[in-house]
Structure 1
Amino acid sequence: MTLDEDLLDRIYEAAAIPEYWPDVLERLAAVGGAQAGALVAYRGREPAGHTSSRLYRDGYDDYLRNGAGIENVRPLRALDRQYPGFLSDLEVQSAQELARDEIYNRFLHPYGLQWTAGTLILSPSGDLLLVDVARATGEAPFDRASLEAIDRYRPHLARASLMASRLGLRAASDMTDAMQLLGLPAIALSGRGRVVAMNALGEALDDRVVTRGGDRIALEHRAADGLLTQAIEETRAGTVRSIPLPASEGQSALIVHILPLTGAAHDIFAAARSLMLVTDVAAPEAPTQELLAGLFDLTPAEARVARALASGLPLDRVAAEFGLSVQTIRNQLAAVFHKTGTSRQVELLRLLAGSAPLRRPLR
């Protein structure tokens, strides 16, 4: 199944032009056979904004106004599962629980909706995006195939959501306004990787993120710089990536995200063709599978292996833990090396040691 290129473009446009989110959410929901979609952006643990498609709007607004005191166990259970993808309501609650669920009975069923599925997208900077899709009354519950179809868009939602949550789901008036609102190191790039604009936080990274001949953006770390050059080329072809910048003596690991600026986003970012955002992932604990998958496009199996290694387990123990051969684990590890831009286990562990798990932020 190929991705809808127009939908991908709209996802990245919506990151800068929030008026596009309702249409994006409706189209994303349709990929999984659903009729409604919503998202809530959190900056740290505080809501930064929300938006929804037409069929979800009244119920979601009602819930956010009147349901704040009701505990929603679904995102909490999803966090505990650490599954890097969409989970249906019946995968985190029993049918009996759903029948008694106050949120469903007060804010979902009265508005013609019956089943939901959602995913939590985390970033190392503490930003979080909750994406939720819903099926109408009378429709069948979500099956795994439908959710896996939506999951194919999830890495793109992860990158776009970082910018969206930093903007608080509101439009910036121009490039200067947008880059200040982001609150992260941000560098606007031309199609060939030349710096168009940079905010003060980006300038502060001048010992690790540099410019070379013709103002071309570059990274001091050689392997990471090779990945950056490749990512800029791929962005021109419509592909996007997140690039790890390993920790070094006295400096924490960083993640460099390259987001394409397409369509209406050019109205804000003028001559820029992509936006480079940098997040600091300094923290002492092993990362969640959810976070690893969002950062590096790891499959669930690859994310599980990476997290186990980051927790200190040797390869043979990881294989025994998952009931797989050591060779299978080595094959998955090779894929992780490729996607994270590392070549040795010690490099991978040093990078992953900087990605902290989120502490159950939702109620």
Structure 2
Amino acid sequence: MPRSPRHSELIESIYDAGLHPELWSDVVVMLNAFIGSQACGLISKDTVSKSGATHYYCGVDPHYIQLYSETYSRYDPLARLPGYGEVRSIPDLVNFDEYRRGRFYQEWLRPQGCIDVANVVLEQSKSPCPMLLTVIPGREMLDAEQRARMQFLVPHASRALMINRAIERKQQRATALADVVDRLNAGVILLDAACQIVHSNPAAETILAADDVLRSISGRLVTRSSEANLALRNIFRDPGEVALAAADGRKIPLTSHDGSHYVAHVIALPSLLRDGATERTSAVGALLIWKAELDSRSCAGLIDRTFELTPAELRVLQSIVEVGGVPETAAALGVAETTVKTHLHRVFAKTGVSRQADLVKLAAGFSNPLLH
């Protein structure tokens, strides 16, 4: 039998398993040695069906674990669970002589050379399948020393399992959030304090693959504009700057080689996504990138209603954003440049801006990056 671990060593190992569930298999071996039992394990039991699932165990042949799960859990006298933290063995709950004539003892426990089993519930919540520490003492009944040692373990194992549950829930939410990010049609890029790319969703990968408005150089995000690069470096140097920029609604305008306009919106990285992953990320913030173009079914209509633009003025605004300057807009719409200029001046007056670049920013503010 392995040596019984010192109390401090055992408690430390239990809390390590709270942070790293894969350590429970080794911890169960330590628990078994500490209690002085033949076998022990962490199992969950359905309070209604009485079925059980063994998660970590030692000292029992896997064949008997399978038999218990498939057949004998329903005959287990300890299926009637005690309250949280109450150590109960078979004689505490049933007539021992009757129990020894039953199937659980005759067909499952006796062939293993054992006569008694003890349980203690480790979860205080109203879980339908609470986790238990189950101990098989061996050829003797559970004695007072073993019972006391099981009782000693309860608060520590209970807290460790609560930590497991909390981490698992956070990881599940983080995974769900990351899945949503990856499904967005707008580009999302997570950056660290050196503007190194920590993660990019498929839409962002498409933008980076074009090697135009944004590019990755040795893993570092770079734009075509030195001004935009400087803005990125200043914002992403620490999470505090990112939070301030995000709170101010900071957007970084970007332009491709063909004059198409993009907008990079600074967003603070949610703590859920930052801390909830299995491994802590180095990202300090994120960029949400989309092409500044008007969706005639939503964004353009919203601008029209907000500024009371005529259909002709709206067409000019949309063309300026998507095509470019006055000559390009005139060619695209098939009208004279003077006509475009007339409508453009009216758009300037109604929207309160004075430059074409400001119109692009205005349109970006009305656009929905999730619909592109």
TM-score surpassing 0.5?
Answer: no
TM-score by length of 2: 0.40
TM-score by length of 1: 0.40
* Structure of larger gyration radius: 2
Q: Which has the higher contact order (CA 8 A, sep 6+)?
A: 1
